[in-house]
Structure 1
Amino acid sequence: MTIPPDTASAAVARPRERVPFWDNARFACIVLVVLGHAVQRLIYDSDVALALYLLVYAFHMPAFALISGYFSKAGTPGRRQMARVITDIVVPYFIFETLWTVTKWLVEGSANPNPTQPSWTLWFLLALGIFRLVLPYLALLRWPLLWAAVVSIGVGYLPNVDSTLSLSRTLGLLFFFTLGWWLRERDVVARLGLLRHRPWWVPASAVAVLVAAGVVAWLFVEQWREMDLRAWLFYDESYAALGGTAWWAGAVRLALIAVALLLSTAFFALLPRSTRWWTHFGQYTMYVYLLHSFVLYPFRESGILRGLDPTWFWLPVVVVAAVLIALGLATKPVRRVFRPLVEPRWPWLFADPQLAAREGHRSDPTGSRRPAQEPPPRAG
């Protein structure tokens, strides 16, 4: 962000205090991402695993998009911000798309190099790039949230908008990203004091909401399996492709958006507002996001996660493993090894190499900013 000259010295003198809650929220969301992918192979043989999977997928990516939007700007980007779209999104996307192509060729014996079709988790990188391109135009409109909702719901009626460049899923989740930006733009969190005071009934209500959602997912699991609710929660196919041929099919997505907002609110209400020993890991969620799929790939493709019995034992094991994977991939040794891939700069790519320089801090596509010199993890 370009700082006006008359406020530059004040900004340097009074650096913005980091709010632990947002790092806690980032890391909690990335744990859910890993958990959802880890559990996926169990859902074909276990109703309990499917219920957990549906609960997670009902809100985890909408919550991640909301956080990313909260830390996004809708103003005209400066040259350095534009360069960061290249270094933080475009270059890592092509690096990891190439790695996935090579991996599939080595393991599966065949590969179809096609950068317009994101491999597995890489769709979110493209989504973040498209969100950033669209947001300044939405911000010009009188009712940006309404228009974002119209796009998110309306895109499902267009069968020619598909997974190419992850456009269908990106537009499907656009409302959540825009909502995050809107909340920050209107300073809603600070004005309502949502991070200052939390009455006892707030976490109690949040637990009740999440438990109720889990119970509904479990009690009606056969109905959800029959209607393929899992596919609806991906936001990446047209309603017709999902079997929703009636004119009111968009109402299903509207209901899913409402559920995602309710569950995301409940989830955020349970997260700690103060620093924990794992809080600083929330600054490195992109490492977990881009790397965890390579860790899970052998287990998913080998079939080792199919037919595990008893579920009451193996499902908790997979859940714990997912948490440990997320923690491990955010640690400093992993970051040191994979930083050239996850956070490439490539100054040779730019006419002005200084655009790729790290000036005082690093940032990732989700909006997390941190010092260039990483502080040691805080205890407590």
Structure 2
Amino acid sequence: MTLSPDETEPGATPSAARPQKKRVPFWDNARFACIVLVVMGHGIQRLTEDSDAALTVYLLIYAFHMPAFAIVSGYFSKSDPPGRRQMARVITDILLPYLIMESIWTLVQFGVEGELNVNPTQPSWTLWFLLALGIFRLILPYLALIRWPLLWAVVVSVGVGYLDNVDSTFSLSRTLGILPFFVLGWKLRSWKLVDRWRVTERQTWPVRAVALGLFAALAAVFVAFIDVWRDIDLRLWFFYDDSYQGLGEGVWWAGLVRLGLISLAVLMSAAFFVLVPRRQTWMTGFGQATMYVYLLHSFVLYPIRQSGMLRQGLDPDVWLVIMLVAAVGIAVVLSTAPVRRVFRPLIEPKPRWLFVRPADEERVGPSRTDPTGSRRTP
């Protein structure tokens, strides 16, 4: 896949009076790196039961990778009241792909497991983030109206953990749990910190050394106390999904633990972004197809996970290396043009027949904006 040097806002008409915006390689690199981490995390999950090394890598990934993805998505989100085109894109970019992929997953699970469980209110596996993006889009204009939206997002994230009745229905618990990261991404753009600090242009080696040191230190902590993390099931805390009671810590200070994990995720996300290449690389073009990887990789991993092959034949640590390498290959393949061409009707449906044509003949733009912002320029 090649990367066009210039790209206008999807659905917009190029105009001589309005110069096209140049893509910034940093963001595409960051998106692809994030999606590779997603595939890695899902690929090695079954190995964490038998391998301390796998659990260490898993915890290291889950400590920050979805928060980082949410930060990038928030950075490319607009807080203006949605117009007709923006509202239509919530349907074409999020709701329809969710319903399509959820239906496919229902049929797959019925064929493999023999259980027909039709319940679109309970997202299957990776689909929770798609719903989260839809909810973020809907509530961001309201958050933008109030003071200290980032503070309120943190309060909501910490507070929702005390509520047992907020669960995975429509992925609401997880959505509210990671809300601060999405709002942080949006605020970074409104504060213009990225431009002011020239974050996407360059990075010094001393700063990168500090970032590497942070990852090394966190990995060392995970290794040193791996039995503790396994006993308390720390990985579940990184999901931002269960209530504190459900995690076995229904105590008043449990919210402080989540607050600490939020702080850790922000710190490690910052370190991650420091290490992302600023120039165009082999992965830059793939960063525009993250939604294809996100929605399709689970179908590649599902038979591997269900067959139990990761617990047979080879040592778990050998499987760990194999799956980490395979995750990169899976992400690359699912980002290629042939895959996107075949699966575009499912991932980017364009049901123009679904919409009422307004009296002024305003055109609803085609569904070409990845919900994560991968097709959008700032």
**TM-score (norm. length: structure 2):** 0.93
Structure 2 partner of 1:362: 368
Task: Specify whether residues 370 and 265 from structure 1 end up closer, same or farther in structure 2 by C-alpha distance, changes over 3 A only.
Answer: closer
Whole-angstrom CA distance in 2 between matches of 1:266 and 1:126: 27
Displacement over 6 Å in runs of 4+? 8-11
1:320 aligns with 2:325: yes
Task: Specify whether residues 370 and 192 from structure 1 end up closer, same or farther in structure 2 by C-alpha distance, changes over 3 A only.
Answer: closer
Whole-angstrom CA distance in 2 between matches of 1:10 and 1:192: 31
Whole-angstrom CA distance in 1 between matches of 2:313 and 2:250: 37
Structure 2 counterparts to residues 229-378 of structure 1, below 5 A: 229-307=234-312, 309-352=314-357, 355-358=363-366, 362-369=368-375
**Do 1:55 and 1:214's aligned partners in 2 also have CA atoms closer than 8 Å?**
yes
| Secondary structure of the structure 2 residue equivalent to 1:363 | coil
Whole-angstrom CA distance in 2 between matches of 1:55 and 1:22: 22
Whole-angstrom CA distance in 2 between matches of 1:260 and 1:322: 22
**Do 2:84 and 2:364's aligned partners in 1 also have CA atoms closer than 8 Å?**
no
> With CA pairs under 8 Å and 6+ residues apart, which has the higher RCO, 1 or 2?
2
Task: Specify whether residues 258 and 275 from structure 1 end up closer, same or farther in structure 2 by C-alpha distance, changes over 3 A only.
Answer: same
Identity of aligned residues (%): 63
Structure 2 partner of 1:377: none
Structure 1 residue 159, shift from structure 2 partner: 0.6
**Do 1:308 and 1:314's aligned partners in 2 also have CA atoms closer than 8 Å?**
no
Q: Which amino acid aligns with 1:160?
A: N
Structure 2 partner of 1:374: none
Give the alignment partner of residue 133 of structure 2, picking from 110, 128, 135: 128
Structure 1 residue 134, shift from structure 2 partner: 1.2
Number of positions where the alignment pairs a residue of Structure 1 with one of Structure 2: 363
Whole-angstrom CA distance in 2 between matches of 1:61 and 1:262: 13
Structure 2 unaligned blocks of 5 or more: 1-8
Whole-angstrom CA distance in 1 between matches of 2:49 and 2:363: 48
Whole-angstrom CA distance in 1 between matches of 2:15 and 2:195: 21
Give the alignment partner of residue 173 of structure 2, picking from 165, 168, 171: 168
Whole-angstrom CA distance in 2 between matches of 1:369 and 1:312: 37
Q: Which amino acid aligns with 1:298?
A: P
Q: Which amino acid aligns with 1:367?
A: G
Whole-angstrom CA distance in 2 between matches of 1:38 and 1:362: 28
Whole-angstrom CA distance in 2 between matches of 1:277 and 1:196: 18
What are the Cα deviations for residues 50-90 of structure 1, in whole angstroms up to 9, with x where unaligned? Answer: 01001101100000000000000011111111100000000
Q: Which amino acid aligns with 2:375?
A: R
Structure 1 residue 368, shift from structure 2 partner: 1.9
1:187 aligns with 2:192: yes
Structure 2 partner of 1:375: none
Structure 1 residue 110, shift from structure 2 partner: 0.9
Whole-angstrom CA distance in 2 between matches of 1:332 and 1:282: 12
Whole-angstrom CA distance in 1 between matches of 2:265 and 2:46: 23
**TM-score (norm. length: structure 1):** 0.92
Structure 2 counterparts to residues 73-112 of structure 1, below 5 A: 73-112=78-117
Q: Which amino acid aligns with 1:130?
A: I
Whole-angstrom CA distance in 1 between matches of 2:296 and 2:321: 22
Whole-angstrom CA distance in 1 between matches of 2:41 and 2:352: 36
Structure 1 residue 212, shift from structure 2 partner: 1.0
Structure 1 residue 11, shift from structure 2 partner: 8.0
Whole-angstrom CA distance in 1 between matches of 2:214 and 2:313: 30
Structure 1 residue 214, shift from structure 2 partner: 1.0
Task: Specify whether residues 101 and 9 from structure 1 end up closer, same or farther in structure 2 by C-alpha distance, changes over 3 A only.
Answer: closer
